[in-house]
Amino acid sequence: MTATRVLLTGAAGFIGGHVRTALTGAGHDVVAVDALLPSAHGAGAEPPDGVRRADVRDLPALTELLRGVDVVCHQAAVVGAGVDVSDAPAYASHNDLGTATLLAAMHESGCRRLILASSMVVYGAGRYRNSRGEFVEPAPRRAEDLEAGIFDETDPGTGEPLEWALVEENSPLRPRSLYAAAKVAQEHYALAWALATGGSVTALRYHNVYGDHMPRNTPYSGVAAMFRSALENGDPPRVFEDGRQTRDFVHVHDVAAANVAAIEAALPGFSAFNVCSGQPITIGEVAATLARSYGGSEPVVTGEYRPGDVRHIVADPRLARERLGFRAQILPAEGIAAFAYAPLRDAAPAGPPRV
């Protein structure tokens, strides 16, 4: 295999750092950059060895960095659902404008291949069937039902509970958070760029990513890190709703492997793939597995809820397996148990993301 020169954005981040290690290990030449945003890395953070400080909104800097680059692996993003609507300008600036600027720089430099870090959040509430086996868009969950502990999605026509189904890549994109809106926008910009330039885009829709060097408990952390932080503090993990909400947890080592597979597959046009384990697990099971492995207090199921939360979203791994040759190697049961004692990132975020 001929080595590929890769511009990797977000290279100092949780996922980006693992992608950098995997790409280098596979023999690729990596140009690693990161903006080192204080909201993610803490105030005054310095780039790790081999990573250059660069902002994806800086067109001249990107154009220079892209000299001789074969493919861009775009991991840089403000992550998390957003604490409140005041976070919206930061998501739009770093994620939407940042991606548009990167695509413009790629056009100027002649680079025609993009691997885009997308997310399961683009699917919104997920995919559901009614009792007749028909796919149905669920009714919005009502505050009075949530207060009463009724959490399952229902048929808007009959009010009957719905059964979750695997989300496939052709499922509708219905963002429900600031981060989700930004990820849909990134995919749309990338698709438009591919059509206009003849370039290729592989969008990797990560499901619930966890693993070594995940950031500790912040308002923007994933639930696995929040549970782990509670255990470290001597507290029980606090599980929202009834704990039976279902997800697909994928280890960061597998996410990194999916990026390597996407670069080496070099697919034409625009393609999107679920990056997932293919093994559904409930949030309650995640908390219980972590607590048992850590030796901490049993989880507390609180019945609390957040209005924008999704009840069930579980991915179909088939397309990535068939077209990228990617199959997750670390299943949630073993990976989450090991995560109980994995090293985490200690940097304290310096406030919310800024424009």
pLDDT tens digits along 150-201: 999 999 999 999 999 999 999 999 998 888 999 999 999 999 999 999 999 9
Give the span between the Cα atoms of 228 and 188, in whole angstroms.
Answer: 35
Q: Left (φ > 0), alpha (ψ -120 to 50) or beta: where does 295 sit?
A: left
The number of CA neighbours under 13 Å toward the Cβ of 322 is 8
**How is residue 276 written in tokens?**
């997932």
Q: CA distances (Å), 270 to each of 110, 115, 322, 327, in order? A: 17, 10, 16, 21
Kindly give the pairing relationship between strand 246-251 and strand 280-282: antiparallel
Give the span between the Cα atoms of 27 and 23, in whole angstroms.
Answer: 7
**Length of the chain, in residues:** 355
The number of CA neighbours under 13 Å toward the Cβ of 242 is 11
Give the span between the Cα atoms of 224 and 217, in whole angstroms.
Answer: 9
Are 201 and 264 spatial neighbours (Cβ–Cβ below 8 Å)?
no
Give the span between the Cα atoms of 123 and 49, in whole angstroms.
Answer: 36
Q: Specify which residues 33 forms β-bridges with.
A: 52
Beta carbons within 10 angstroms of residue 266's beta carbon: 12
Give the span between the Cα atoms of 31 and 7, in whole angstroms.
Answer: 5
DSSP 93: I
Kindly give the pairing relationship between strand 127-129 and strand 163-165: antiparallel
Global model pTM greater than 0.85: yes
Exposed (0-12), middle (13-18) or buried (19+): which is 135, by Cβ within 10 Å?
A: exposed
**How is residue 81 written in tokens?**
């659902």
How does pLDDT run along the chain (355 residues), one tens digit per residue? 577 999 999 999 999 999 999 999 999 999 999 998 877 787 778 888 999 999 999 999 999 999 999 999 999 998 876 567 888 899 999 999 999 999 999 999 999 999 999 999 999 999 999 999 999 999 889 999 999 999 999 999 999 999 999 999 999 999 988 889 999 999 999 999 999 999 999 999 999 999 999 987 665 568 999 999 999 999 999 999 999 999 999 999 999 999 999 999 999 999 999 999 999 999 999 999 999 999 999 999 999 998 778 999 999 999 999 999 999 999 999 999 999 999 998 766 665 677 7
Q: Tell me the CATH class for 5-127+165-340.
A: alpha beta
**How is residue 227 written in tokens?**
């549970």
